[in-house]
Structure 1
Amino acid sequence: MKFTTAFTIVGALSAWLANAADDNETDHSVTEIEPKCFKQNYYINAAGDMKDLHDCQIISGNIFVKGYDSDSLDLGSISHIKGSLSIANASSLLRIEGVELSTIDGTFALDTLTSLASISLPKLESIDTISWKVLPILSAVNLDKGIKHINSVVMSDTSLTGFSGFNVESLKVLNINNNRFLERIDSSVKEITDTLLITANARNLQVSLPELTWAHTITIKDTNNLNLDSLQVVENSAQFINNRFSDLKLPKLKSTGTTLSVINNKNVRTIEFPSLAEVGGGLMIIDNDLITKVDFFPVLRAIGGAIEFHGNIDASGFKQLKVVKGSAIIKSTSAEFDCNKWIKEEVSNVVRGGKIECGSGSSRSTEVLLVDESGDITKGTPGVNSGVAEQDKSKKTVVKSGTSVSYKVGFSAIVTGLAMSWLAIHL
């Protein structure tokens, strides 16, 4: 009885081991990667080169497509590219399709594809970097699954009308530039660890980054509407230049590591920085035509560089400012700005190690005071009130132009008169 039982157990164990071996063989055959799918680099020049890889689910290395000779690039059954996908200088290429592609471990680079009109990657959700440049007629992108993991986005010179579908909390780079039809940028990103750059897109561009709380460097240009309502810290510089928005409101911004610049925003009427306590570098408010009072920094205490204000500014006010570690310069074209008051009551007690310079109204010169690090003040050589100087230059140009026209008219009249006299004598 005991022997029989033991024999039965040994037999069952042998059968189990045999089945397990069969299962292992089956699994091995399923997961085996064909040699053609396992290379460091693939160079694709023709449709036939790509078809050779259609039955690969995993590509082990980088795919380089250059000078491609067909109007369609089909990635077949490829679901995972463990390197980068780079497609460049293929003037015949109209569309890119990859119905199974879900992951690109490296960069998805598209460069100088002048006929590319559409991209369809409905399952793509993980990628390191998107770098799309010089795609002048690209207008349709299908990323139905939505990108859930990505580090950097660079998108330049496309015909896309909207940017969205990137549901990530952190990006290294968000660089969207020269997309002339791009009307919306929407993202739920919470931090940008390197660069946020938006410039030279559609004139009516709406930018909405309502959850962004931290960024390293920000440059916003040529934008019609901007939402940065949650932004609290800019580690480096923040620049808002040549925009068309009427309001610039950063209600939660507490500090910038270096310069804060608001320059040449011709339509801006309202600027609000109610929480900004420290600017690590310079503070520049320059040529914002509708801003007449610089009084939108109610809790600003420290400026690590220079103050520089230009424009039609009537007044300024810094109730909490304690130190400016650089110069304080204002060049106003408004006759209402009181340089004496500004120097004595607002900046002479806070500037350390720079100069104080002020010009206002129609005066072409500015008053200059030099301040050392201890706060001692000496009088400096007067400077130039650049705003007024530019106005004078424009007037002189107009007068010069008018004089030139008058000269030409007078000369023509003399020539005509001489000709008439010659005809009268000789006829």
Structure 2
Amino acid sequence: MGCVIAGGGPAGAMLALLLARSGVEVTLLEKHGDFLRDFRGDTIHPSTLQVLDELGLAQEFLKLPHRKAYDLNLVSDRGDIKIASLRRLPSAYRYIAFVPQWDFLKLITTAAERYPGFRLLMNAEAYDLIREGGAVRGLRYRDESGEHEIRADLTVAADGRHSVLRERAGLVPENLGAPMDVVWFRLPRHRSDRDDTFLRISPGHMMVAINRESYWQLAYLIVKGGYARLTEQGIDALRGPVGDLLPWLADRVGQIEGYDDVSVLTVALNRLRRWHRPGFLCIGDAAHAMSPVFGVGINLAVQDAVAAANLLAGMLGSGAPIPESALHRVQRRRMLPTRLTQAAQRLVQNRVINPALTGGLDPSRLPRDLTKIPLLNRVAPRFIGQGIRPEHVMVKEL
């Protein structure tokens, strides 16, 4: 068999589609029974929209329930501050689309099912690698019927920031640090509420509010490791800041009945120094866990998948052995975007998020419209919208 991929997230699903589309036999394993997990990243940036366009899926994507953000706004105690605008991007897609990640994954895997070489196994948890002759030759997984093996020319770990297969391969990520964790929850949205998705900062507090039409998906940032301390203070320790930051939600914070109503994202920022072993490759969060800063995680994962397909599909399709040097070319192509994006995330974490959470930053002092700063207006939209070295689909459909 050509390729087996562990992890049905954006990286794994996109790679599976691209390989199947090029005629490669590929099996995708997802350890859950569906894609319906709440509080997953769901910002689809112009770089990913362009990939969908190149695959002929853009119109199908745009039929999904979604919201478009053309401008990015910060709300301070004294009012709104425009951070960036995507309206002048040199792209057909000049916005960020907010869509539930499960809808995005369903779109990708449904498209992959059109190709005879694609197979999706749900409730299939990869737990080990098959090694022969000093190389990885597949994986072992378990499902409701027991334990199984799949042998393949290439095994790809796209199983997230806590990748089991990465660990089995003896690859250990370098921790770059993050000053925050995120408490996720939702509250009902009223028609009289504001209409956009925005960042709210007040000295000592920080929150992201995502408009989901019928409800708000809210991300309240806390100091790294501070969740236990927050819960010890009782649920009002969360309700109070939410009501203070967003007074128009104060009449609804009582619907957060307890900490069972929230989820906690332990933020990690790390990357592997080596993404591969013979016959084995890590992509997406398994290769580099991204901070929520800029909301680029999905898009970096998709770019990894496109690069991997462009560089490896031909060899996989021909049945030729996959030299480790080919896997290293994937890492080499995607390492620069990873490093630069993470460097920018660290800069924001250190200069904005940490000071905001510790009370040392008052955004009210910033100009009302940062897009009027020429250099920032040129760089920020491209960096956020298209990223460093955006990938394009080069493999042909068979």
Q: Name the TM tier (shorter chain).
A: under 0.3
Which structure has the highest helix share of the two? 2
- Bigger Rg, which one: 1
Q: Which structure carries more strand by proportion?
A: 1
What TM-score, normalized by structure 2, do the two folds share?
0.19
- Higher RCO (Cα < 8 Å, 6 or more apart): 2
